[in-house]
Amino acid sequence: MTGRAVLLTGSIGLGHDMPALSCANLLESYGWRTRTLNSLSLLGSGPAQAGEQVFGRLVAIPAVYDALHFAHLRAGSPVASALDRWSARRVVPALRAELEREPADLVLSIFATGAAAAARLKAELPARRTIVLCPDVAAHRLWVTEGTDLFLVTSAAAAASVRRFLPRARVAVIPMPVRAAFYSAPSQQQARTAFGVPADAPCVLFIDSGWGFGRVAESVARLARAGVHVLAVAGRNQGLESEYRSLADGFQQVHPFGFSEQVPQLMAAADIVIALPGASTCAEARVVGRPLLLLDVIPGHGRDNLLHELELGRAEVCGPTPADVAAAALALLNRAPQPAAKTTDSAPRWEPAFEAACEQIGLEFGPRQLAEAGTL
């Protein structure tokens, strides 16, 4: 079966974009046509910009964002219902117009705002499949709306959080989608040669998807002073990228990057990966076989996700100050085993579980094309 799919993501960080890209690549390998829409843009330019700004300010005040997440969004309070209705009044008509302009057989939502809108449109075309992929360990109220055919989650805890709001929901637990390039990452020696990192030097990948939480540039500088080579990825944060490039002028151990398509190679070059507790980055590091040092800086859903990543193993946590980061990273470098000559497929492939779950709602993709990693 081939068809047309719309993937609904969000412009807040890269934690939604990367799973969407993985899913799009898989669907396209079976002949599907895909397009990706930013759920926030469906609010309209003014509300979308305001929403991003408000979110940024809330996250910057942990106590306020914690209150919103734990007391309202995760609990499904009247405040959460009001936010849901407010976004639906704007997003549902916009999504309806998009689907009338270019129909789709499948709407796959990787962002709560899009998930709620797609579910509300289900009754207008029952044959169109609606799937939600929630990357968080707890699906809050806005993720879960009647009309979703299938919820894809990555843990039993997330499955239970969906059923809290829809007890009869169809839920499947799958591994976190990871792009094929991570399964075929090069050996550490090959990767280090490409980036100019000495074979015997301690090396970390410090990766930021654009948030710029904490004093990350100071943390990078402190590690460089300790003799650690730092592959410093700023994501889409241009200000942070400029700071990294300025540091590189004074420290040969600092290797600055902005948004990079070379993350599989960068992870392969490093001994450890320092990152936020985003499910996508953590899953990628585990596929490549690198231990994680996670920054405890994101309130709300970030606290849930951090505890889950620690439970999964091969992860440590540290505070956000440069002293915290440097002390934890140096200790982890001291005790982390050296990576194997080649990266290993220690994490399971996610595609078979995704396909099997989709078959439950009548989506069949035909023979798998997974004979070799990296072919999707």
Residue 237's pLDDT is what? 85
Residue 367's pLDDT is what? 60
Residue 205's pLDDT is what? 97
Residue 374's pLDDT is what? 42
The percentage of the chain sitting over the pLDDT mark of 70, rounded to a whole number, equals 91
Query: What mean pLDDT comes out for the span 348-365?
Result: 91
Residue 229's pLDDT is what? 97
**Chain segment 253-264, per-residue pLDDT in tens:** 999 999 889 999
Query: What mean pLDDT comes out for the span 84-107?
Result: 94
Query: What mean pLDDT comes out for the span 196-206?
Result: 95
Query: What mean pLDDT comes out for the span 173-180?
Result: 95
Residue 175: pLDDT over 90: yes
Higher pLDDT among residues 235 and 284, named by residue: 284
Residue 294's pLDDT is what? 96
Residue 375's pLDDT is what? 43
Q: Which residues pair with 315 in a beta bridge?
A: 292
- Which positions ≥6 away from 363 have C-beta within 8 Å? 1, 106, 129
**Chain segment 319-354, per-residue pLDDT in tens:** 989 999 999 999 999 987 666 544 445 567 999 999
Positive or negative, the CA dihedral 121, 123, 124, 125 is positive
Residue 376's pLDDT is what? 43
- What residues does CATH 3.40.50.2000 cover in the chain? 4-177+350-359, 182-335
Residue 59's pLDDT is what? 77
Give the predicted TM-score (pTM) of the model. Answer: 0.90
How many whole angstroms separate alpha carbon 240 and alpha carbon 59? 18
**Which architecture, in CATH terms, is 4-177+350-359?**
3-Layer(aba) Sandwich (3.40)
Residue 209's pLDDT is what? 64
Residue with tokens 């710029």: 212
How many whole angstroms separate alpha carbon 376 and alpha carbon 27? 9
The percentage of the chain sitting over the pLDDT mark of 90, rounded to a whole number, equals 76
Please provide the average confidence, as pLDDT, over all residues in the chain. Answer: 90
Residue 249: pLDDT over 80: yes
147: left (phi over 0), alpha (psi -120 to 50) or beta: left
CB 211 within 8 A of CB 277: no
For domain 182-335, which CATH number applies: 3.40.50.620, 3.40.50.2000, 3.30.70.890, 3.30.750.24? 3.40.50.2000
Query: What mean pLDDT comes out for the span 66-79?
Result: 94
Helix, strand or coil for residue 364? coil
The number of angstroms, rounded, from the C-alpha of 53 to the middle of its chain's C-alpha atoms is 20
Query: What mean pLDDT comes out for the span 275-298?
Result: 94
Higher pLDDT among residues 339 and 308, named by residue: 308
How many whole angstroms separate alpha carbon 376 and alpha carbon 370? 8
Mean pLDDT is lowest, of 10-24, 237-251, 266-280, for 10-24
Query: What mean pLDDT comes out for the span 154-176?
Result: 96
